[in-house]
Amino acid sequence: MKYSVTTSSVLKAKTDWLVVAVSADQKPDVLKGLDSDGLKLIKDVLATGDLKKKAGSALALRSIPGLPAKRLLLVSTGEKDQLTEKEFRALSSTILKELRSGSAKSATISLAGIEIEGRSSDWLVQRLVIDAEYSGYKYDTTKSQSAKSSLNQVAFIVEERKQLNSAQKAIAAGMAIGSGVNYSRQLGNLPGNICTPAFLAKSARELARKSPKLTVKIIDEKEMKLLKMGSMLSVSAGSAEPAKLIVFEYKGAPKTEKPHVLVGKGVTFDSGGISLKPGAGMDEMKFDMCGAASVFGSMASLIELTPKVNVVGIVGAVENMPSSTATKPGDVVTSMSGITIEVLNTDAEGRLVLCDMLTYAERFKPQSVIDIATLTGACVVALGGPATGMFSNDDELANQLTASGEQSGDRVWRLPLWDDYQDSLDTPFADIANVGGRAAGSITAACFLSRFAKKYNWAHLDIAGSAWISGGMKKGSTGRPVGLLVDYLLQKAK
């Protein structure tokens, strides 16, 4: 998609769709100078009350006298002067649904009258671009027919010339974040028989080839054995697909600057292993690599935006399967850190992958480490889709992530990591068990990880509820939390 920004009048826009905001008093102010036949037509249409006053409602008109635009979309901004963010999301989604519904190629969106509580007009442009990119992605890789929308050009009209420069930057940021989000969604949506650990390793090499600032190293099982990653390897033990450890390095700042590390859970299919999952909905465990996908997506955004920051991305890619070589409940494995782990449940495999990645991360002497994982069903129960569960051993890091969540609309909610929860991981047969009791499942999972993240500032993001939409025709990866992570890393580059 091509984007532009201008200050020229809506009355001059030669476009397939002109989008104009209408306030509660039903006056489309920007159309003031339109010729009288055109104005009368619009007034008469509005007088019918067909355009609902609820923010995000819309009415599509065609062939307005005096207006060069082929179609006109009137959208309500509601009863108040400013939109809430939820109202803005509704407005943005109505607009994009309409723009993409037919054969239109171009659109011009007037931003006059669209104001959001506490947000700048640049924020609004960036968000509209991200939304436009998001709505332009449709999974079709394994479909024999594809239906792509024809929209390929969007222009924004701002009121003042001094807005042009920063709006242009907002467009660039929105495009980079949008394409990172969509890349992440695509990897998430691919079926487990295509998106294997080896496929992720190949994709990582392809991504790194796109920029001199990005390098990648793939560590195979043989080398993992040398590194003593016994915990990670215990997860791939039952699978015919060999595990891959993928290490990205994005170098945007001088070497002397310590990196921020992202660690992604990349379980390309989670059957549960010997502790086999029930059949219903098991297909959705192809999304168990969405943490890894968010690392890929973030790297893709970084190489487009080239911020001055160093970022390491570590992905543990592995398939969790039952077989005669699989790890069994009661088996004890030794992690890279030396901590021994009793595997009481082979379906609590994410933490077994992450713990070795967290130990591996130490060698980068990181400023911060953030792991991203579809870790617990309990997190879906606790927070559902709107918020990612966050845990951290550092208040400043937690506060920064909370702020980035608000800024990007990709929100997190902090849950406690108190010592009181740690004892549930005690076992007579190893240093630590891989599961606690039934209670507080997301917290005890985070407690497990915290044992391996003592040497740096660390946050754990449980995206089990936010990474994909479950069931039905809406089923699919959301690309979260790429928006959150990129915002956080851009803040670090400032």
* Local structure of residue 487 (DSSP, 8 states): H
Q: What x/- string results for residues 389 through 428 when contact with ligand BES is judged by CB under 6 A?
A: ----------------------------------------
Stretch touching ligand BES by CB under 6 A, among 50-58, 131-139, 344-352, 484-492: 344-352
Q: Which of 131, 349, 356, 487 forms a contact with ligand BES (CB under 6 A)?
A: 349
Tell me the residue nearest to ligand BES as measured from the CB: 377
Our answer to whether residue 277 is catalytic in this structure is: yes
Q: Which residue has the tokens 């990119």?
A: 133
Closest distance of CB 316 from Mn ion, Å:
14
Stretch touching Zn ion by CB under 5 A, among 13-21, 73-81, 286-294, 396-404: 286-294
Q: How far apart are CA 266 and CA 284, in angstroms?
A: 14
Q: In what order do the strands lie in the sheet with 368-373?
A: 214-219, 244-251, 310-320, 260-270, 368-373, 458-462, 388-392, 412-414
Question: Beta strand pairing status for 214-219 and 244-251?
Answer: antiparallel
Cβ distance to Zn ion smaller for residue 109 or 354: 354
Q: What x/- string results for residues 337 through 356 when contact with Mn ion is judged by CB under 5 A?
A: ----------x-x-------
Q: Which residue has the tokens 């990612």?
A: 388
Closest distance of CB 347 from Zn ion, Å:
7
Partner touching 441 among ligand BES, Mn ion, Zn ion, none, CB below 5 to 8 Å by kind: ligand BES
Is 462 a residue that touches Mn ion (CB under 5 A)? no
Phi and psi at residue 247, to the nearest 5°: -125, 105
Is 238 a residue that touches Zn ion (CB under 5 A)? no
Q: Which of 87, 288, 342, 410 forms a contact with ligand BES (CB under 6 A)?
A: 288
Q: How far apart are CA 145 and CA 153, in angstroms?
A: 24
Closest distance of CB 419 from Zn ion, Å:
26
Our answer to whether residue 351 is catalytic in this structure is: yes
Q: Which of 98, 122, 131, 270 forms a contact with Zn ion (CB under 5 A)?
A: 270
416, 359 in Cβ contact below 8 A? no
Cβ distance to Zn ion smaller for residue 126 or 320: 320
Stretch touching Zn ion by CB under 5 A, among 261-269, 430-438, 439-447, 455-463: 261-269
Is 122 a residue that touches ligand BES (CB under 6 A)? no
26, 74 in Cβ contact below 8 A? no
206 contacts: CB under 8 Å, gap ≥ 6: none
Cβ distance to ligand BES smaller for residue 247 or 348: 348
Closest distance of CB 195 from Zn ion, Å:
15
272, 156 in Cβ contact below 8 A? no
Tell me the residue nearest to Mn ion as measured from the CB: 347
Q: Is the dihedral of CA 111, 117, 123, 124 positive or negative?
A: negative
Cβ distance to ligand BES smaller for residue 116 or 348: 348
Q: Which of 435, 447, 484, 486 forms a contact with ligand BES (CB under 6 A)?
A: 435
Find the radius of gyration of the CA atoms of the chain. Answer: 25
Question: Beta strand pairing status for 58-62 and 71-76?
Answer: antiparallel
Report the chain's terminal Cα–Cα distance, integer Å: 28
Q: What x/- string results for residues 253 through 272 when contact with Mn ion is judged by CB under 5 A?
A: -----------------x--
Stretch touching ligand BES by CB under 6 A, among 18-26, 219-227, 343-351, 352-360: 343-351
Three-state SS string over 294-352 comes to HHHHHHHHHHHHCCCCEEEEEEEEEEECCCCCCCCCCEEEECCCCCEEEECCCCCCHHH
Stretch touching Zn ion by CB under 5 A, among 132-140, 269-277, 357-365, 443-451: 269-277
Q: What x/- string results for residues 7 through 46 when contact with Zn ion is judged by CB under 5 A?
A: ----------------------------------------
Alpha-carbon distances of 237 from 287, 314, 346, 422, rounded to whole Å: 20, 20, 11, 28
Stretch touching ligand BES by CB under 6 A, among 100-108, 359-367, 372-380, 446-454: 372-380
Closest distance of CB 223 from ligand BES, Å:
25
Question: Beta strand pairing status for 476-477 and 432-433?
Answer: unpaired
Helix (H, G, I), strand (E, B) or coil at 392: strand
Q: How far apart are CA 484 and CA 177, in angstroms?
A: 10
Q: Which residues bind Zn ion (CB under 5 A)?
A: 267, 270, 288, 350
Which residues are tagged catalytic? 277, 351
